[in-house]
Structure 1
Amino acid sequence: MSVQIDTRVSPSLHPANVANLDGYSDATKGYVEGAERALHEAYTGVAAVFDAKEAVRRDLSLTDAGRTMKVDDMAQRVFKKVAALFDTQMANLTKGISQSEDKLNAPVNARAAHPIAAEIRTYIRSMPESDRPGFVFAAITRGDLVTAEAALAGPSYLCGLTPEGHAALLRKYHEQAAPEEAAKLAVMQGALKLLGNRGGMVFTALEEAVGAHPDAVRRMREAKARADKALAV
Structure 2
Amino acid sequence: MVDEVDTRIPLDLHPGAIANLPGYEEEEVRAVLNGTERLLRTTTENLAAIHDAKAAAATDPTLTPAAALLKVDDYASARMSTVTKQWDQIASTLANNIAQYEKELSAPIIAKASQMVSGEIRSHFKSLPQSERVSAVQAAIRAGDEVTCSSLFGAPAYLSGLNEEMHREFTRLWQEKVNPLVAKRLRAVSAAHEYVERTGPLMLKEWHNAVGVIEETREDRSGRRIVVGRSTASAIRKKKASADQRFALPAN
Comparing 50-59 with 148-157, which one deviates more in the overlay? 148-157
TM-superposition CA deviations, 1:155-188 (whole Å, max 9, x none): 999933658x955x55643442122222222222
Percentage identity across paired residues of the two chains: 30
- 1:153 and 1:44 map into 2 onto residues whose CA distance is 51
**Post-superposition offset of 1:68:** 1.5
- 2:62 and 2:155 map into 1 onto residues whose CA distance is 69
Map residues 73-92 of structure 1 onto 2, 5 A cutoff.
73-92=74-93
Map residues 198-213 of structure 1 onto 2, 5 A cutoff.
198-212=199-213
TM-score (norm 2): 0.74
Task: Determine whether 1:228 maps to 2:250.
Answer: no
**Post-superposition offset of 1:78:** 2.9
Instruction: Specify every segment of 5 or more residues in structure 2 that has no aligned partner in the other structure, as ranges.
Output: 215-229
Structure-2 change in CA distance of 1:131 and 1:223 (3 Å): farther
Secondary structure of residue in 1 paired with 2:174: helix
* Contact 1:139/1:148, CA 8 A, preserved across alignment: yes
| 1:23 aligned partner | 23
Task: Determine whether 1:159 maps to 2:175.
Answer: no
Task: Determine whether 1:8 maps to 2:43.
Answer: no
TM-superposition CA deviations, 1:126-177 (whole Å, max 9, x none): 855x7775443322101123444566569999933658x955x556434421
Report which structure shows greater RCO (CA 8 Å, sep ≥6). 1
Instruction: Specify every segment of 5 or more residues in structure 1 that has no aligned partner in the other structure, as ranges.
Output: none
- 2:47 and 2:153 map into 1 onto residues whose CA distance is 46
**Post-superposition offset of 1:224:** 0.6
Give the partner amino acid of 2:200.
G
Coordinate RMSD, CA, aligned: 3.6
- 2:235 and 2:175 map into 1 onto residues whose CA distance is 55
Give the partner amino acid of 1:41.
T
Map residues 1-233 of structure 1 onto 2, 5 A cutoff.
2-24=2-24, 25-106=26-107, 108-111=108-111, 116=118, 120=122, 128=130, 134-149=135-150, 159-160=162-163, 162=165, 167=169, 169=170, 172-212=173-213, 216-233=232-249
Structure 1 or 2: more helix by fraction: 1
Structure 1 or 2: more strand by fraction: 2
**Post-superposition offset of 1:22:** 0.8
- 1:208 and 1:184 map into 2 onto residues whose CA distance is 35
Q: How many residues align?
A: 228
Comparing 131-140 with 42-51, which one deviates more in the overlay? 131-140
Higher alpha-carbon Rg? 2
TM-score (norm 1): 0.79
- 1:132 and 1:50 map into 2 onto residues whose CA distance is 63
Structure-2 change in CA distance of 1:150 and 1:210 (3 Å): farther
* Contact 1:132/1:160, CA 8 A, preserved across alignment: no
